[in-house]
Amino acid sequence: MSKKVVVVFGGATPEHEVSLGGARAVLSNAEKLGWEVLPVGVTKSGQWLVGDGALEQLWRKADAERFAKGITPDDDVPGSGGSVRVFDGPPGAEVFTGYQLGFPMSHGRWGEDGTLQGLLAAYGLVVMGCDITSSALCYDKRLTKIMLAEAGLPTAKGTHVEQSRYARSPHSVTDQIREVVGPLPWFVKPNRGGSSLGIGRVESSDDLDKALEEAFRWDSAALVEEAVPHREFVLGVVGKTAESLVVSPAGECVPVGDLYTYEEKVRLGNPLFACPAPIDRNLADRARELAIEAFTVLGCSVFARVDLFLDERTGQLLINEVNTIPGLTEVSVFPKVMRAAGLDYPELLTEFTRLAASD
């Protein structure tokens, strides 16, 4: 199969600019990798821009405050000056005639939740990454926890809260949280979302309403979990079957404050990130085992990032979440941990195409 790749980025998501940064990195490497790329940018209003100049058009209109560290809307991008066809929504399949691979690089709802993966598959493209089902499972944190629990894999105690139910009966919801999650403090986050947007820490029951209000800005449901005193590790996984996966060493994300925020992850470029993490061999091996099990149980394929917590009370590793479209900018942790596994950025992209083309 030739390396003719449709790369889709942008979209109506708070992580729009993160996606553009990743697309710039991918498109900058495409020519030397031998890819024939069709860039497809989706505006924040849902228009589709197809052609070499798609990234530039979105880039110049982007919010400078949401770009990763060191990036500005004035920077040069691949395809500058190129032509663009504009569509009010997804174009007809004939636009992608001759292309075999579809690389979804849009984050958040529509990009990571299986919708874009299904659309690319409907166009007849082989998806470079997780399929519809695994994308949907991993994007919905409640479903992720259910699947992991059924497989006997460890996660923090948590419960799902619907915005409509909380509006009708806040006291019963609070009682449910106490019963399932246990005593304060708690963490609250949107059930579907990423980049630490909408997360909050609840120290007293009086703080719950405000924390849920913030989470509901991003999704109609929230996940409330025990506030585990922890260290946070991330591992990259690349491959298809458990026997042939390439798993990175654990990298450690050390928050500057109480929460590992969007600002730290993106705007500051993970300032205290370290890979390999300073942990002993037994813990490193256990982290690797859990990454493989989570990737496999959730049906992931080609690549994903597995996030773990080390519970400092018990020394137990917990699976926090699995990200099927991790950031691919120069400061993103996924390329960093995979580099530690022996795959530099161009080699990582080459492996994506090889794995996708092996279907």
The pLDDT assigned to 320 comes to 96
What's the mean pLDDT in 214-235? 96
The pLDDT assigned to 16 comes to 93
What's the mean pLDDT in 215-226? 96
Q: 173 and 199 share a domain?
A: yes
Residue 164 neighbours by CB distance under 10 Å: 10
Question: pLDDT per residue over 274-321, tens digit each?
Answer: 999 999 999 999 999 999 999 999 999 999 999 999 999 999 999 999
Number of domains in the chain: 3
Domain boundary among 206, 226, 246: 226
Dig out the tokens for 342 from the structure: 């022996």
Question: pLDDT per residue over 24-53, tens digit each?
Answer: 999 999 999 999 999 999 999 999 999 999
Q: 243 and 347 share a domain?
A: yes
For residues 269 and 264, what is the distance between their CA atoms, to the nearest angstrom? 6
Q: 304 and 239 share a domain?
A: yes
- Let me know if residue 175 belongs to a domain: yes
In the predicted model, what is the mean pLDDT of the chain? 93
Q: 166 and 147 share a domain?
A: no
CATH of the domain at 306: 3.30.470.20
The pLDDT assigned to 1 comes to 45
Strands (E), the chain: 4-10, 36-42, 48-50, 85-87, 101-104, 126-127, 158-162, 186-190, 200-202, 221-226, 230-239, 246-247, 251-253, 302-311, 317-323
Q: With a cut of 80, say whether residue 255 has pLDDT above it.
A: no
- Let me know if residue 41 belongs to a domain: yes
Q: With a cut of 60, say whether residue 137 has pLDDT above it.
A: yes
Q: 118 and 23 share a domain?
A: yes
Q: 274 and 142 share a domain?
A: yes
Q: With a cut of 80, say whether residue 2 has pLDDT above it.
A: no
Question: pLDDT per residue over 56-100, tens digit each?
Answer: 999 999 998 888 777 889 999 999 999 999 999 999 999 999 999
- Let me know if residue 133 belongs to a domain: no
Sign of CA dihedral 202, 205, 211, 216: positive
The pLDDT assigned to 359 comes to 65
299 is in which domain, residue-wise? Answer: 138-155+229-357
Q: 234 and 314 share a domain?
A: yes
Q: 209 and 236 share a domain?
A: no
- Let me know if residue 92 belongs to a domain: yes
Q: 168 and 63 share a domain?
A: no
Query: Residues, the chain, total?
Result: 359
Q: With a cut of 90, say whether residue 241 has pLDDT above it.
A: no
The pLDDT assigned to 71 comes to 83
The pLDDT assigned to 268 comes to 53
What's the mean pLDDT in 241-269? 74
Q: How does DSSP assign 340-353, residue by residue?
A: HTT--HHHHHHHHH
Question: pLDDT per residue over 101-116, tens digit each?
Answer: 999 999 988 999 999 9
CA atoms within 13 A on the CB side of 237: 30
CATH of the domain at 49: 3.40.50.20
Q: With a cut of 60, say whether residue 329 has pLDDT above it.
A: yes
CATH of the domain at 202: 3.30.1490.20
The pLDDT assigned to 331 comes to 76
Q: 193 and 88 share a domain?
A: no
Q: Choose between 195 and 13: higher pLDDT.
A: 13
Dig out the tokens for 236 from the structure: 């990259």
The pLDDT assigned to 332 comes to 87
Q: 142 and 272 share a domain?
A: yes
Q: 14 and 41 share a domain?
A: yes
Q: What is the pTM of this model?
A: 0.93
